[in-house]
Amino acid sequence: MGLDLPRGTPVPWALPMARHQLDATVHAVTSAAYFLTSALSGMRSSELAD
């Protein structure tokens, strides 16, 4: 299954992205991290913003 490459050969984990796709991905990951931190810590958004 997959690629037959020698062990330890680096491979890209994502396809190349255009600038707007990269911006959207960064926004999605940042939002997910903010949401997860808020949910796990019980902090309010005003407390996280500090």
Number of Cβ atoms within 10 Å of the Cβ of 34: 13
Q: What is the pLDDT of residue 2?
A: 67
Residue 15 in tokens: 């396809």
Q: What is the pLDDT of residue 41?
A: 92
Residue 44 in tokens: 């309010």
Q: What is the pLDDT of residue 8?
A: 87
Give the C-alpha separation, 2 to 44, whole Å.
Answer: 44
Q: Tell me the torsion sign for CA atoms 10, 13, 15, 16.
A: negative
Give the C-alpha separation, 20 to 22, whole Å.
Answer: 5
pTM here is: 0.63
AA identity, residue 32:
A
Q: What is the pLDDT of residue 17?
A: 92
